[in-house]
Structure 1
């Protein structure tokens, strides 16, 4: 248990760095891979290829977010169980996470395969983008169950206190994709299908890497049929907290439907291609905040379970300060080098000219992102599903979707881009006020459970 005990004793700054830096590196690597993937598609397939990826990724991530939701929700339960010495509950929670992830992921993949054409149309796959989007989606579906497993496992591994393993689980698929993209897209001239196969194989690689962690004997948790048997109280707790992540991704997917169709209506295929570039830059700009957030969650969960109130309060302050500071630096880079960033993705002069000012508009409120993400993650980490869900949906659901529908009526395509910074400002204000006015009740302490002989041996 040494890997988790440090959450309650180590200096918070050092602890956050140990957790957040590997998470940030993993997310940054994934962001770089996504950027390079789009660069290859932009230069060797064309703007329609960028548009196709823009349409498909929200669909595949909606399906795979089942694994992420189970991972995040279950990890909150795990962290608090480990902090409160409830080992049997920790083992049972992991087993139920495994069973839930695989059953649900396979079900929704089959549903996606059956309704492919309809789904692509709903998400804005029209005109010249429709056929490449269908080709890309059909292949990517094969890898979605593997992605769901990987996303669940990464959160569990981080909750166990192995942030470096979680980091490599994100780096491995990025490296695989970076190797396969030039081979499939350029050397073998497979076009958009090549990009899809490279991504699918990378998902399988990530799943294999995380599975190895649990089978190697390094993990405290073990995969066993006994623990995979459904425990409805645990499933309910995982689902309650995981619904925050699933609802967030669900709203992001609804946003994708609204946004893609609005972009096609006001800007045609070119509008979708511009957003394809913006979406990749968003991943890069958000990586330090997301990394700090992911590193912050198990620390909060453990200390909350152990009733260490001062440590919980301090880690929230430190996390927001660190994430905001790094976001300011990224904001300066984005504003200064917007034109150079646009040129990375395409040689189409018209697309470059249209994308450059959009980057400067969309990222105006980047420094405020830390407040809304970290505060939402705080409520999720301490097991408060209601506030976490409300705050998670604030940006996309309460602000961005209505603004994307409303502002173009007055400002045309520019109104869509203006919606992004306004939504960031609104979400940060709501989150800050909610956190400051909320009262947190800590759990009662319990005595450590007496583990069985087999459990004792498995930990030694």
Structure 2
């Protein structure tokens, strides 16, 4: 059974496992990758360096947002095109995605280097560690083009159900970064500069491996400039499909900037505690996203074929997996929060703040799974605008005001539970929208079949 036949006819649990497990491995390694800089900087014992990296964390989601915009959107568009057996359209989409990554990556590198000082101020950096934050951001910015490409095309290469190739590329770069971190930070005493350089080199290796692996996908993926098309179907539509996840990632970055500025009024150590807690929280949120994105090609492929019953089955079972994982990881991380925090840095002040923050981060982890499943599969079934609206509502229209209001009413204690509030609202809204969309689509497909049978 070939890959596309497996998406169409394979046993649902078997397909979910084959698609989700490699993606989860990738995302878990990505979590370790995100933790690595903070972890090894923590081993220097310098709280200012920890706080500097923590305050710069919102820059990563911005870079990832643009990579996800073109990666998740391109993957969905190509999966649907393959389901419709339109190979030429697939090549045009992939070619546009490649040059989008190159151009936007270069622009981001320039912007982050030219406007470093105002960006650092906007992030909420305290004067005590500002110089470290500037150094970290300047060196990190150099890697924007390769970070964009590796993030985007790891997703695009999954469009036909392939998991091995993107996993190899992702793991190679991430493991390289993890190996280089202690060498640059602790052996060569490069501090935050070493952390940034290790990140850039890891992404560079991933990009080189991806570029080589793309040759084996030339039957439906192209990087030839002659195939670039700026039409709605091959350029705008893929970006619209990627907009829900990308906008959520981007708005999450904005929310991190807001909470960093609010935490600065509490203590710079509260910022550092939030940075560590956020890294730990990625164990849950990134893995849940990985499970959903892993199954997304199967959902998009069957949606393109009009098999809505199979689409519903994939979504239901994937959501159950995500919720179960969310519950288990919440119990582990809340119960073992002291151990987890001390693994990064043994500082009483940071650990004190972190113990409270982690409860707020994980208390609604199973509910977050419902939200993530809803917005991912709305996007995967060509309802990008609906998914984007829900994402913007959760990540911006509700989360940021919730931060401000809860901070005013309850101070630090209110601030740490703002994520739990928006998880509940996002999950309820998302599941209602997805259920209505699939119900209407199912009725439409049944009507088409009835008319076809009658004729």
TM-score by length of 2: 0.93
Judge conservation of contact 1:74–1:156 (CA < 8 Å) in 2: yes
Q: Which moved more, 1:325-334 or 1:209-218?
A: 209-218
The residue aligned with 1:375 is: 374
- Rounded to whole Å, the distance in 1 between the matches of 2:330 and 2:250 is 27
The answer to whether structure 1 residue 254 and structure 2 residue 280 are counterparts is no
* Cα distance, 1:173 vs structure 2: 1.9
The answer to whether structure 1 residue 88 and structure 2 residue 84 are counterparts is no
Judge conservation of contact 1:50–1:273 (CA < 8 Å) in 2: yes
- Rounded to whole Å, the distance in 2 between the matches of 1:363 and 1:372 is 14
- Rounded to whole Å, the distance in 1 between the matches of 2:60 and 2:286 is 20
Judge conservation of contact 1:72–1:152 (CA < 8 Å) in 2: yes
Tell me: CA distance 1:3–1:436, structure 2 relative to 1, closer, same or farther (3 Å): closer
Judge conservation of contact 1:361–1:418 (CA < 8 Å) in 2: yes
The residue aligned with 1:274 is: 273
SS at match of 2:157: helix
- Rounded to whole Å, the distance in 1 between the matches of 2:46 and 2:393 is 35
The residue aligned with 1:447 is: none
TM-score by length of 1: 0.92
The one-character-per-residue Cα deviations of 1:43-84 (angstroms, maximum 9, x if unpaired) are 215222222222223224313421220111111111111011
- Rounded to whole Å, the distance in 1 between the matches of 2:69 and 2:143 is 18
The answer to whether structure 1 residue 316 and structure 2 residue 328 are counterparts is no
- Rounded to whole Å, the distance in 2 between the matches of 1:440 and 1:118 is 48
The residue aligned with 2:449 is: none
Tell me: CA distance 1:68–1:120, structure 2 relative to 1, closer, same or farther (3 Å): same
The one-character-per-residue Cα deviations of 1:78-111 (angstroms, maximum 9, x if unpaired) are 1111011111111111111112221122122212
- Rounded to whole Å, the distance in 2 between the matches of 1:164 and 1:279 is 29
The residue aligned with 2:2 is: 2
The one-character-per-residue Cα deviations of 1:350-370 (angstroms, maximum 9, x if unpaired) are 222321232123211111111
- Rounded to whole Å, the distance in 2 between the matches of 1:228 and 1:19 is 29
Judge conservation of contact 2:374–2:427 (CA < 8 Å) in 1: no
* Cα distance, 1:440 vs structure 2: 4.0
* Cα distance, 1:202 vs structure 2: 0.8
SS at match of 2:223: coil
The one-character-per-residue Cα deviations of 1:105-136 (angstroms, maximum 9, x if unpaired) are 21222122211111111111232231111100
Tell me: CA distance 1:45–1:196, structure 2 relative to 1, closer, same or farther (3 Å): farther
The residue aligned with 1:62 is: 62
Structure 1 residue ranges without an equivalent (≥5):
445-460
SS at match of 1:407: helix
The residue aligned with 1:406 is: 405
Q: How does 1:114-153 map to 2 (within 5 A)?
A: 114-153=114-153
Judge conservation of contact 1:213–1:219 (CA < 8 Å) in 2: no
- Rounded to whole Å, the distance in 2 between the matches of 1:88 and 1:349 is 59
Q: Which moved more, 1:431-440 or 1:98-107?
A: 431-440
Judge conservation of contact 1:75–1:159 (CA < 8 Å) in 2: yes
Task: Please report the RMSD computed on the Cα atoms of aligned residues, expressed in angstroms.
Answer: 2.0
Q: How does 1:335-414 map to 2 (within 5 A)?
A: 335-414=334-413
The answer to whether structure 1 residue 210 and structure 2 residue 216 are counterparts is no
* Cα distance, 1:285 vs structure 2: 2.0
SS at match of 1:222: coil
